[in-house]
């Protein structure tokens, strides 16, 4: 989890977290998020699904924390 000290709060997922979860390289994730032509559609789909999954997990965790 990345912590944004200036804001005093946790950010949503980072490229490294996405890469680790999707078992891809950080550069591949970066290119997929930038919609590069070098990235296959299947890989781009995997990256986007992983982003959604990680963000949902963090949002749910935050909701449990706030909800008590």
The pLDDT-based confidence of 68 (bands split at 50, 70, 90) is: low
CATH code at 14? 1.10.260.40
Q: Given pLDDT bands bounded at 50, 70 and 90, which one contains residue 40?
A: very high
Confidence of residue 61 (pLDDT cuts 50, 70, 90): confident
What CA–CA distance (Å, rounded) separates 41 from 55? 21
**Strand residue runs (E) in the chain:** 3-4, 9-10
Q: Is the pLDDT of residue 26 over 90?
A: yes
* Rounded CA separation 44/36 (Å): 9
pLDDT at 65: 75
Please give the backbone phi and psi of residue 4, each rounded to the nearest 5 degrees, phi first: -95, 95
Range of the domain at 29: 3-67
Nearest to 51 by CA among 67, 34, 29, 36: 29
Is the Cβ–Cβ distance between 37 and 46 less than 8 Å? no
Across residues 27-35, what is the average pLDDT? 95
Into how many domains does the chain fold? Answer: 1
């Amino acid at each position: 989890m990345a912590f944004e000290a200036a804001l005093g709060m946790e950010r949503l997922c980072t490229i490294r977290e996405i890469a680790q979860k999707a078992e891809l390289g950080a550069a591949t994730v970066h290119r997929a998020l930038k919609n590069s032509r070098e990235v296959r559609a299947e890989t781009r789909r995997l990256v986007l699904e992983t982003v959604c999954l990680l963000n949902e997990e963090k949002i749910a965790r935050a909701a449990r924390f706030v909800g008590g």
